[in-house]
Structure 1
């Protein structure tokens, strides 16, 4: 359970997609669940990262349904091999539709699924507008935008990005 966090335009999606390309390069199943991009937009971004050298972006599954939620993701990944990598774009809108379970319940369910199956999850996450790069170079766990509460200790690691810099840290 990896959290990839930063302000808009600082490389969160690029990093998430690169994780998927690396997984595909290693012969693992790689799935991108996005509530933000169309499939064409995601494939275009993937091709720019792969630069057409390996054709890996065609091996990735891209799901763009408005039904994306923990239940949807678990159903889709059920039976996947250990080491499958899934990136969810993005954390803060998993429960945007009122008919979906609370964000904390969804993250808990995905964490349980990850422990049981060995599926690796990456969650693209927004950093709150209150993050001030004048007072610290990189955001940290306290800067995660949480319009709906979720226990961030459910994540194992967090990767923070800002202005070309990055830091990986343990969360739990």
Structure 2
């Protein structure tokens, strides 16, 4: 299957169509799907789910891993983070999403719209939206969780945004030790610097991580970078 554009761009096109033509979003999505050769958006999205990198990423995650998930805005890093949690939940693992960006309602809506979310799997995800999210808060919420739990943190660069929270470097020290001790896999969604040039390389790499505050990137055991529908997963340790 080869779409004319990555699915996130098709969704954006549908939203613009819905607004411009004053039609429901589901009708705009179906029109886009028909343009791509599918009878309905649900069929298109189901096919995309079969090709999602989330299964491959989860299969590479080991207990205690620290995964960096980086992309420019609109290139699917949050989507992949949620898909990763859905895959973990399907395997019967505890899955937790910590976000300082979205409300629980917004997150639930995104989960319901994801390809392959059937049988209420998304309801098993724990969504945490507290403004208190930081290393100490995350460790308290995950305390007692079984080994193999997967937690996604949205996102790295805002963990120390409030001046009352410890420096990002200190938080990462604590979270690395916590992951190693508990066997919980931690996934950090990350911003990519605007200087990234897709004409020079197809996807970003560790050198493109936006770091307004210092942090040792060797804390991460794996990294996954996305751009325009491409994904690259690599071992860091």
The normalised TM-score by structure 2 is 0.71
Distance 1:164 1:78 in 2: 35
- The answer to whether residue 124 in structure 2 is matched with residue 59 in structure 1 is yes
Question: What residue in structure 2 maps to residue 87 of structure 1?
Answer: 152
| Residue matched to 1:102 | 167
* Structure 2 residue matching 1:92: 3-state secondary structure: helix
Q: CA deviation at 1:52?
A: 4.8
- In structure 2, which of residues 194, 207, 226 is the aligned counterpart of residue 161 of structure 1? 226
Q: Give the whole-Å Cα distance in 1 for the aligned partners of 2:117 and 2:214.
A: 40
In structure 2, the partner of 1:111 is 176
> How far apart, CA to CA, are the structure 1 residues paired with 2:165 and 2:224?
27
**Counterpart Cα distance in 2 of 1:77 and 1:127:** 27
Contiguous gaps of at least 5 residues in structure 1: none
Check the 8 A contact 1:50/1:57 in 2, yes or no. no
Aligned length: 172
Name the counterpart of 1:124: 189
Aligned partners of 1:23 and 1:30 also within 8 Å: yes
Structure 1 residues 73-111: Cα deviation after superposition (integer angstroms, max 9, x where no partner):
000000110001100000000000000001111111111
Show structure 1 runs of 4+ deviating over 4 A. none
Residue in 1 that maps onto 2:35: none
Q: CA RMSD in A?
A: 0.9
8 A contact 2:111–2:117 mirrored in 1: no
More strand by percentage: 1
Q: Give TM-score, length-normalised by structure 1.
A: 0.98
State the Cα distance separating 1:54 from its structure 2 match.
Answer: 2.1
For residue 143 of structure 2, what is the aligned residue in structure 1?
Answer: 78
Q: Which has the higher helix share?
A: 2
| Secondary structure of the corresponding residue to residue 62 of structure 1 | strand
Quote the offset at 1:6 in angstroms.
Answer: 0.5
Aligned partner (choices 104, 113, 117) of residue 39 of structure 1: 104
Q: Is the 8 A contact 1:2 1:123 kept in 2?
A: yes
Please list the CA deviations of residues 1-27 of structure 1 after superposition, one character each: whole Å capped at 9, or x if unmatched.
Answer: 000000000010011001100111010
